[in-house]
Amino acid sequence: MPGTDPRLLLLSPLDNVFVLRGVVEAGEKILLSGTETRVESRIGLGHKLARVVIPKGSKVMKYGAPIGSASQDIPMGAHVHTHNLISDYTPTHTLELARDEFAEASAERAAP
């Protein structure tokens, strides 16, 4: 992909996300299809970065296929993950969510 940071992998020309084959640090300015874009947060190996602006409600495409819908407007160059992408099938259960639920339940038990 000319004009694109070599750490970004495009799996299909239909995709609106890149997959990272290396870490991108917060504040780095990287090339996305010829456009220099500032990355706001650290993004790790195997994670996704928006190739273009992805409007809320539209499909996120990876492998040339929809992998869910944007739950908010996603700027170009942003980390695409559980905070802005939701499954069209079953909700994703993360460890953070389980921890928060556990904390809430504990707080309720502790309340008089």
Site residues for other proteins per CB under 8 A: 6-7, 9, 11, 19-22, 44-48, 62-63, 65-68, 80-82, 85-90, 92-95, 98
Q: Under DSSP, is residue 98 helix (H, G, I), strand (E, B) or coil?
A: helix
Question: Where does 3-76 show beta strands of DSSP type E?
Answer: 8-9, 17-20, 29-32, 35-38, 48-50, 59-62, 65-70
Dihedral of the alpha carbons of 51, 57, 82, 63, in degrees to the nearest 10: -50
Instruction: Give the residue with the Cβ less far from other proteins, 48 or 51.
Output: 48
We find the least distance from the C-beta atom of residue 55 to other proteins, in angstroms, to be: 18
Q: What's the min distance (Å) between Cβ of 107 and other proteins?
A: 21
91 or 112: whose CB is closer to other proteins?
Answer: 91
- Which H/E stretch holds residue 107? helix 95-110
Residue closer to other proteins by CB (options 30, 111) is 30
Report the residue number, 65 or 105, with the smaller CB distance to other proteins: 65
Distances in Å between the Cα of 62 and the Cα atoms of 7, 18, 29 are 16, 8, 23
Least separation in angstroms between CB 112 and other proteins: 33
At 97 the three-state DSSP class reads helix
The distance of closest approach from Cβ of residue 111 to other proteins in the complex, given in angstroms and rounded to an integer, is: 27
